[in-house]
Chain A
Amino acid sequence: MKKKLLSLIMVGAMVLSMTACGQSGNTGSGNTGSGASGNGALTGTLKLGVIGPLTGGAAIYGNAVANGAKIAVDEINAEATGFTIELQAQDDEHDAEKSVNAYHQLQDWGVQAIAGTVTTTPCIAVSAEANSDRVFMLTPSASAVAVTEGKDNVFQLCFADPNQGSASAQYIFDNKLATKVAIIYNNADAYSTGIYQTFKAKATELGLEVVSETTFTDDTTDFSVQVGDAQSNGADLVFLPIYYTPASLILQQAASAGYEPKFFGVDGMDGILTIEGFDTSLAEGVMLLTPFSADATDDLTKNFVAKYNENYGEVPSQFAADGYDCAYAIKAALEFYAAKNGGLDVTDMSSADLCEILISVFTDPDFSADGVTGLGMVWDANGQVNKQPKAVVIKDGVYVGM
């Protein structure tokens, strides 16, 4: 009885505290504000939300995106053009349910546009919510087709999975990297299976010989069977459409088995050099397809890499670059609209109005954004981005463009 009483009191207190929050929660309404400042200038404060795994197994991605976006926002705010961005990053632990919760938290804060979510499955769940609520989303790295399919308000800054898989196969074929290919993929993961399916289809079409296909699940730590199968079938290239944690184990176990094929990864492999305790010499010669390489010599990349290094003490991964570009792409789109319509003040604009503006700009054939992950990025009506993929290879512990 007493336990129940205490619990009831606690419930009561909690309900009260939450409803109290509810009154202060502001979703932003009225005031479309266009033309407020004249002269085609963009002014006001934009509330930009980032959703991603800041803790848990995929935390490297979420933190990289959040850090990258933070750098972009700091730069934009430092320019003092009258336009500022307020940034808030929420954790979703790479889980769809938590991600929807994080999204609602951002809504209570009054978010106007979202740069997220970082990982695929949560993004599908959140994008469905954002679609019915009319909140603009630009995902830095959720690559499945289902993220944007049928949702006009969701755009991708990264390549969609089919593009990644088929572009990898095309790249391997064009550069004659291998004749016999082995694939090791995670059949308990949407991202990995998605790329595998498109890679396989494209490889078959091009006549690349796939000699070994092996799978693993999230809990796997022993890859001797998969590595052994690739080795005994004489594969000279192993395609790893997987995240970096299992990839690091595969590299270790292949090295100890004395098997030295070429390894080819996709963007999930990015981050392998930042794993604590991982011998980076094992990753020597690993190739991956990614839109970003930190050693590029253009000013944009140099500036970004220097700042990231200064603030966070590491070389930014592709995810950090994606986060950085997301903030700039949204700013560019708003500027584009402001220039066309004689100014725009985004302060307190409702997320739904902003969503319509951003959709119209992103689907505008004249609009293109430049960033560290590509110059002249353009989007199609499906929300997929068009930009040039780059392949990088790991040399002396850093990513080097090929």
Chain B
Amino acid sequence: MFSFKKASGLSKKAFINYAIVIVFYLVFQILVSTGNITSALKGQLIPITCYMIMAVSLNLVVGISGELSLGHAGFMSVGAFTAVIISSAMGNASNPARLFVSILVGAILAGIAGFLIGIPVLRLNGDYLAIVTLAFGEIIKNILNCLYVGIDEKGLHFAFNNPDALGMDPLGKVLINGPMGAVGISKIATFTGAVILLLVVLIIIQNLVNSRTGRAIMAIRDNRIAAESMGISPMKYKMLAFTISAAMAGSAGAVYALNYSTLVPKKFDFNTSILVLVFVVLGGIGNMTGSLIAAGILVVLPELLRKFSDYRMLVYAIVLILVMLVTNNEKLKGRMDIFAKKVRMKISKGGKKK
């Protein structure tokens, strides 16, 4: 957990996060270019990065702002489907441009969705807030299940609950076909693009947390009444964190969508929201580094466990429980503290060595 006395160490922490991301990028980029990587892992690089963005963005709400949100996948889906529409609508532009604009518009629309949902949701507290976010996540999914979007020479066509109402030219193409989702998405997402987005998201979040605004958000989390008496408006700051978090989830969704050739609203259900929450909780609430690492490991883990065939998800669950137990075990923590101190001493003796 963040606390104020550690505030001076924040910039160092922030630096570690950038370093982790850059090392992660360089290592895998080298592995890919030298061909020393399994195609299993290569295919997962972009989704891993997307889940990392999801995890740090949810950590902003859960860890920094202190509100439990169970509908994060809903914002991801807003960004994802927006990206599908935008990338198709600008079919002639270059791929990086399409990716950039898709991410941008996806993030903006998800941010708007976050703002609108935040108005009622953030009036609640605690468990009630969690349940309402869950409900809104499901509402977004079900709205997308009823959404039909097509494109033809005249432009985009939208319809609700009835694909016949699109009124398109016979030559037009249906982009989003209700529950059947989108098919034939051009796969323009790149690992480099995803990592740049992750860095941008980290920069935004870490600078926010370190700023006056971030301290206000954390003050509300720690003691709302005290913060209010200092003249801090809880609604304003909570809304800010919630909206930024939603926008970032939207940007992650945009990259995710453009990495697969098909996308269905069903993907972004309650389970996906919980998955991201698991990353945040296991990585440590409020701990961005933890979120990054937990997301990376927990996305890859089910694939590494394939040799257990039918017992795969059982083993996965056991690993989750073990991680929970180990990271909360005081004895182990003590031992690792000693170990960490020794390492630190050695490092300081060893001078500039990393």
Q: Which residues of A contact B (CB under 8 A)?
A: 1-8, 10-11, 14-15, 17-19, 21-23, 25, 27, 54-55, 90-91, 95-98, 100-105, 107-108, 121, 124-125, 127-129, 144, 146, 149-150, 186-190, 192-194, 197, 217-218
Q: Does B146 contact A (CB under 8 A)?
A: yes
Where chain B touches its partner, the secondary structure class is helix
- Ranked nearest first, the 4 interchain pairs of A and B with the lowest CB-CB distance are A128-B261, A2-B336, A190-B180, A124-B262
A2 touching B340, Cβ below 8 Å: yes
User: Which of chain A's residues have a CB closer than 8 A to the CB of B39?
Assistant: 25, 27, 104, 107-108
User: Which of chain A's residues have a CB closer than 8 A to the CB of B336?
Assistant: 2-3, 5-6
A146 touching B40, Cβ below 8 Å: no
With contacts A55-B313, A101-B303 known, is A5 near B178, CB below 8 A? no
Q: Kindly count the residue-residue contacts between A and B in the assembled complex, taking CB atoms under 8 Å apart.
A: 151
User: Which of chain A's residues have a CB closer than 8 A to the CB of B289?
Assistant: 4, 7
User: Which of chain B's residues have a CB closer than 8 A to the CB of A11?
Assistant: 293, 296-297
Contacting A124 at CB < 8 Å: which of B42, B178, B183, B267? B183
Contacting B260 at CB < 8 Å: which of A97, A107, A108? A97
With contacts A25-B39, A197-B163 known, is A3 near B264, CB below 8 A? no
Contacting A23 at CB < 8 Å: which of B36, B187, B337? B36
B38 touching A1, Cβ below 8 Å: no
A40→B183 CA distance, assembly (Å): 41
Contacting A22 at CB < 8 Å: which of B38, B184, B287? B38
User: Which of chain B's residues have a CB closer than 8 A to the CB of A104?
Assistant: 38-44
B146 touching A187, Cβ below 8 Å: yes
B145 touching A188, Cβ below 8 Å: yes
Q: Which of B192-200, B215-223, B304-312 lies on the face that meets chain A?
A: B304-312
Interface centre among A18, A129, A193, A194 (most CB of B within 10 A): A18
Among B325-345, those with CB < 8 Å from A are 327, 333, 336-337, 339-340, 343
B154 to chain A, nearest CB (A): 23
A388→B313 CA distance, assembly (Å): 40
User: Which of chain B's residues have a CB closer than 8 A to the CB of A19?
Assistant: 31, 36-37
A280 to chain B, nearest CB (A): 26
With contacts A54-B310, A190-B181 known, is A108 near B145, CB below 8 A? no
A22→B284 CA distance, assembly (Å): 31
User: Which of chain B's residues have a CB closer than 8 A to the CB of A6?
Assistant: 336
Interface residues on B, range: 35 or more
User: Which of chain A's residues have a CB closer than 8 A to the CB of B284?
Assistant: 3
B194 to chain A, nearest CB (A): 14
User: Which of chain A's residues have a CB closer than 8 A to the CB of B47?
Assistant: 97
User: Which of chain A's residues have a CB closer than 8 A to the CB of B42?
Assistant: 104
Q: Can you name the residue of chain B whose Cβ is closest to the Cβ of A23?
A: B36
Give 24 pairs: A residue, B residue, CB < 8 Å, sorted on A: A1-B340, A2-B337, A6-B336, A8-B293, A10-B297, A11-B293, A14-B297, A18-B41, A18-B304, A19-B36, A19-B37, A21-B38, A22-B35, A91-B309, A96-B260, A100-B260, A104-B39, A105-B40, A125-B260, A127-B261, A129-B261, A146-B183, A149-B183, A193-B177
A39→B180 CA distance, assembly (Å): 49
Among B165-218, those with CB < 8 Å from A are 177-181, 183-184, 187
A356 to chain B, nearest CB (A): 20
A243 to chain B, nearest CB (A): 13
Q: Does B142 contact A (CB under 8 A)?
A: yes
B206 to chain A, nearest CB (A): 16
Contacting B180 at CB < 8 Å: which of A15, A18, A98, A194? A194
B14 to chain A, nearest CB (A): 14
Contacting B262 at CB < 8 Å: which of A18, A27, A128? A128
Contacting B40 at CB < 8 Å: which of A101, A187, A193? A101
A238→B56 CA distance, assembly (Å): 48
A17→B337 CA distance, assembly (Å): 27
B312 touching A91, Cβ below 8 Å: yes
A384 to chain B, nearest CB (A): 16
A189 touching B179, Cβ below 8 Å: yes
User: Which of chain B's residues have a CB closer than 8 A to the CB of A7?
Assistant: 289-290, 293-294, 297
User: Which of chain B's residues have a CB closer than 8 A to the CB of A107?
Assistant: 39-40
A101 touching B181, Cβ below 8 Å: no
Q: Does B1 contact A (CB under 8 A)?
A: no
Q: Can you name the residue of chain B whose Cβ is closest to the Cβ of A102?
A: B306
Taken residue by residue from 250 to 288, chain B's Cβ proximity to chain A (1 for < 8 Å, 0 otherwise) reads as 000000000011111111000000000000000010010
A213→B235 CA distance, assembly (Å): 45
A146→B262 CA distance, assembly (Å): 10
A55→B313 CA distance, assembly (Å): 9
B142 touching A125, Cβ below 8 Å: no
User: Which of chain A's residues have a CB closer than 8 A to the CB of B101?
Assistant: none
B77 to chain A, nearest CB (A): 13
Among B131-178, those with CB < 8 Å from A are 142, 145-146, 163, 177-178
A347 to chain B, nearest CB (A): 21
A27→B38 CA distance, assembly (Å): 10
A107→B42 CA distance, assembly (Å): 11
Q: Can you name the residue of chain B whose Cβ is closest to the Cβ of A127?
A: B261
A22 touching B339, Cβ below 8 Å: no
Q: Does B230 contact A (CB under 8 A)?
A: no
Contacting B339 at CB < 8 Å: which of A5, A10, A55, A217? A5
A18 touching B340, Cβ below 8 Å: no
B290 touching A4, Cβ below 8 Å: yes
B263 touching A96, Cβ below 8 Å: yes
User: Which of chain A's residues have a CB closer than 8 A to the CB of B187?
Assistant: 128
Q: Can you name the residue of chain A whose Cβ is closest to the Cβ of B271?
A: A95
A90 touching B306, Cβ below 8 Å: yes
User: Which of chain B's residues have a CB closer than 8 A to the CB of A150?
Assistant: 184
Q: Can you name the residue of chain B whose Cβ is closest to the Cβ of A4?
A: B289
Interface centre among A2, A27, A91, A150 (most CB of B within 10 A): A2
A22 touching B36, Cβ below 8 Å: yes
Interface centre among B16, B40, B43, B336 (most CB of A within 10 A): B40
User: Which of chain B's residues have a CB closer than 8 A to the CB of A218?
Assistant: 266
A100→B267 CA distance, assembly (Å): 14
A188 touching B262, Cβ below 8 Å: no
Q: Does B300 contact A (CB under 8 A)?
A: yes
A190 touching B264, Cβ below 8 Å: yes
Among B1-53, those with CB < 8 Å from A are 16, 27, 31, 35-44, 47
User: Which of chain B's residues have a CB closer than 8 A to the CB of A186?
Assistant: 179
Q: Can you name the residue of chain B whose Cβ is closest to the Cβ of A122?
A: B262
B44 touching A101, Cβ below 8 Å: yes
With contacts A5-B343, A7-B290 known, is A188 near B265, CB below 8 A? yes
Q: Can you name the residue of chain A whose Cβ is closest to the Cβ of B138?
A: A219
User: Which of chain A's residues have a CB closer than 8 A to the CB of B184?
Assistant: 146, 149-150
Q: Can you name the residue of chain A whose Cβ is closest to the Cβ of B338?
A: A2
